[in-house]
Chain A
Amino acid sequence: MDLSQAIRDKARELLETGAVKCVIGYETGTDGINARPAFIYEAAEVDRLIFDETCGHNLATYLLHHRAENIAVVVKPCDSRAINLLHGEHQIERDKVYIIGVVCPGVVGRQWGVKGRQLLPACQACTDRNPVVYDYLVGEPVAEGAPAPAPPLPEVEDLERMPPEERCQFWRREFERCIRCYACRQACPGCQCTECFVERLEPEWVGIRIDAPQNWMWHTIRAFHLAGRCIECQACRRACPVDIRLDLLNHKLAWEVAQLFNFRPGMTAEALFPLATFVRDEKLGVGEWASS
């Protein structure tokens, strides 16, 4: 069956039975390349819902703003990991969320310097086609090998090969552009703080001035807060109006954590976060975390 239709049918059922108050899904966008989040409260509205390769947004993040009600949400595999992340970090109650998981073919998105529609690089490299958690699955699950972390993105490898000076230049050019709109933070399921460090005045970790050193500080601290937690849904990159390559920064840290701890966040809701856990007599070698 058509993915969109399957989602609509499920949404109608959930709303008509009163199982949920709202279904968060996608509807056709205006630019033809980015679908737009849709919040469906009435069964009569479900025909607005679609699913295709323009559905890039990570809708799980919206759950942070709908904690009180029963909500259904449409998630792709990477977004489903965000659900586990939110659940594992006690940000949502699992029984209040109905998860409509979609088997994902990869998504497109507006990419600077790329003409027309093309799968995002992360989607091209992605090996997770099935959601890791769902109450209802849409689409035919794809047979998958062991969920070994994919090799680092070629662009990250290119960066690693650069001499430090050049790499520093690269990031300076990226961060200089940042206008500190914090769209990346708002789109991120891992950014849950009521008061972000960047807004704190005492201590003032980051100055409010928008210049390279302050921006640099902002992105570095945020990256560290997300190390071992970022599920690489690309939401930050998609949100950024000046196309800063936050995906590369986060990918690098995710890759390091995967190597060191044999750990990918969000694969289950129960896993302990290696960088935020204190285990009695913890004496692990490289790569032993998840297997322990």
Chain B
Amino acid sequence: MARIGVFICHCGSNIAGTVDIPRVVAEAQKLPMVVHAEDNEYTCSEVGQRSLREAIQEHRLNRVVIGACSPRMHENTFRNTVASAGLNPYLLEMANLREHASWVHGDQREAATVKAIDLIRAAVAKVARAQPLFARQIGVTKRALVIGGGIAGIQCALDIANAGFEVVLVERTPSIGGRMAQLDKTFPTLDCSACILTPKMVEVGQHPRIRLLTYAEVKEVRGFVGNFEADILQKARHVDHDKCLGCGICWQKCPARAPSEFDMGVGQRTAIYIPFAQAVPGKPVIDREHCRYQQYLEWQRAGAEGKKPPECRICEKLCPVGAIDWEQRDEMITEEFGAIVVATGYKTFDHSVYGEYGGGRYPDVITSLQLERLMSASGPTLGEVTRPSDGQPPKTVVFISCVGSRDDSVGRPYCSKVCCMYLAKQSIMLKEHDPEVQSYIFYIDIRAGGKNYEEFVRRAQEEAGTVYIRGRVSKTYPEKGKLIVWGEDSLMGRPVQIAADLVVLATGIEPSEGAIELAQTLHISYDVHSFLVEAHPKLRPVETMTDGVFLAGTAMGPMDIPDSVAQGSAAAAKVCGLLSKDTLALEPMVANVNAVKCVGCLLCQQVCPFKAIDTETLRDGRIVVRINEGLCKGCGLCVSACRPGAMNLRGFSNEQLLAQVKALTR
């Protein structure tokens, strides 16, 4: 027989200010199976919890209802409290008298009180049918998978490895480093990006506990927190990295050319290449598409018609250790992991939708990342900033901000956060390269929140003499070797016209190619812009709604290097916390199947968004389903899909919910 205790919290005046507490207590006392009801100033306080414990013992309560705030806030607190009094923690039900009654009916004391009584009655009806639940323990694979080797992923991998756990770092391109490796200097301190990044890259390359898989991608992930299994595709490099010395003779002599992805197309690379001099690993890959020998093989396969391409194989002839391996094939590597971090970073907005800026049409309209490459001492021009059209140094440079940011009309309502700062940086750097340069920045607002950021923008204005013009650019066109930029100075209320040598578009930040596919593989959510979504924007910023999967860096939204690094470390802390456990308690509020009733229609399997439903063949040959409790999130979709009612949700059983509804509609 259920012996239910009801505890009504005042929450200071939050509830008591509106709801007539004594009346709720009196009504609660009259409910069936309720043997005790009381009210507390703050049930969550030390005093309140003690009173709860004492009442459980004194009245031999075996079920508890607490009328207080949202279970999101204090359910855990109270579960622990009732557990410490010897009760199964799942024999507790919370009625949300604050968010659902007092706060929403602030000026209607009577209505709020009646509703509070209803909510208590429903909670009593539900808890009376509650069953004790027990968390199952599962083991943990003490290895982490970090996807994406930008600064966020690098930091995260290093922190986890230095804490003593194994890490596999998977990077899609031939080298780690990400966007930061492409940058020249970094705001607000102007330290050289490569100088601060490369030591970390080398540390990753040398770390005994980090296995680095570059030129690789995660294709499939199965399992659940503590017990993931991932299929990682290692793309064929055609270079045996165990033999390769990284001497560089091959990429110095390779005759084939392709636009360099790393240089954002303003430079070229060879077909066998490392993306940049300090790449980690410092060993090359062969890009099959541009390799002449591969083109030759392709021509042979296609029937050897038309002009015969050169058979090349120069790299093979020159390699002193015979590392070139034409037979190498893509290879699938399967590994087990306890935790996964997604740090897949960003790409920049495709500016071609803004025809008025002339990007793509006029060679001297470039993007900010291209300018970084032109300014970089290791870039295609060795740090000499020149115009793509004629190789002349530009003297007048116009920057256009918010290209694909803060613009609903192109589906990018958000601020890319780093552009204002890097525009200031780039204008300062141009002045340092050549004191004759005059920069103009068309801006909407200057966003410079952050330590020393506002000062940095001031430095651009005052020391570098950068002219900030508030307004949008309406058109750009070439005239006599210059680019005429028409815009509006909205502060002065007049049109402006600048004859520029170079126009730089501050293209906004958006998630990397393939972010959605990866998110779907991992069962994590993404927003309308395909940025990955954190479990809570304030309190759980690097977690996802899928246990054991974490986020870091710009894959979840625009941010600068300090924030990406902080997130990398934060995600690492979460991963270490997880991997340091030997076992994990599984949430017991999951679905369960009554195999007798299950007809094996597998409708539930189709609706389950977490792939938590497997099939099993019984001894009599019947096929029924089984819940993978590690994956089930207790969403209840399967329960509603099941026609014969074989599915039920622990802690939210059909019986409990119907009793609750009945109590509410009494």
Contact = CB atoms under 8 A, between A and B. Distances in A.
A161 interface: no
B603 interface: yes
Interface stretch (A33-41, A137-145, A187-195): A187-195
A284 interface: no
Interface stretch (A174-182, A197-205, A235-243): A197-205
A193 B599 contact: yes
B621 A203 contact: no
A91 B600 contact: yes
B55 interface: no
Q: Determine chain B's interface SS by DSSP, over half rule.
A: loop
B607 A280 contact: no
Contact of A90 (B601, B643, B645): B601
Contacts of B602: 89-90
Interface in B544-585: none
Contact of B643 (A67, A68, A193, A203): A193
Interface in A182-228: 192-197, 200, 202-203, 225
A277 interface: yes
Contact of A276 (B596, B641, B644, B645): B641
Contact of A278 (B600, B606, B643): B606
Contacts of B645: 195, 197, 200
Interface in B596-643: 596-603, 606-607, 609, 621, 623, 637, 641, 643
B520 interface: yes
A161 to B, nearest CB: 33
B47 interface: no
Nearest to A200: B645
Contacts of B527: none
A245 B606 CA distance: 33
A192 B601 contact: yes
Among the interface residues A89, A196, A278, which one has the most CB atoms of the partner chain B within 10 A?
Answer: A278
A68 B596 contact: no
Given A196-B644, A197-B645, A202-B655, A278 B601 contact: no
Contacts of B268: none
A91 to B, nearest CB: 7
A202 B129 CA distance: 12
A67 B599 CA distance: 12
B643 A194 contact: no
Nearest to B516: A281
Given A193-B643, A280-B520, A89 B597 contact: no
A203 B641 contact: no
Contacts of B644: 193-197
Contacts of A203: 654-655, 658
A194 B655 contact: no
A192 B621 contact: no
A101 to B, nearest CB: 25
Contacts of B606: 272, 276-278
A200 B594 CA distance: 14
Interface string A72-90: 0000000000000000011
A276 B607 CA distance: 8
A278 B609 contact: yes
Given A203-B655, A278-B609, A91 B641 contact: no
Interface in A240-292: 272, 276-278, 280
Contacts of B623: 90
A192 B607 contact: no
B599 A192 contact: yes
A73 B597 CA distance: 27
A200 B658 CA distance: 13
Contacts of B654: 202-203
A225 B643 contact: yes
Interface of B: 520, 596-603, 606-607, 609, 621, 623, 637, 641, 643-646, 654-655, 658
Given A67-B621, A278-B607, 17 more contacts: A90-B600, A90-B602, A193-B643, A193-B644, A194-B599, A195-B597, A196-B644, A197-B644, A197-B645, A203-B654, A203-B655, A276-B603, A276-B606, A276-B607, A277-B607, A278-B609, A280-B520
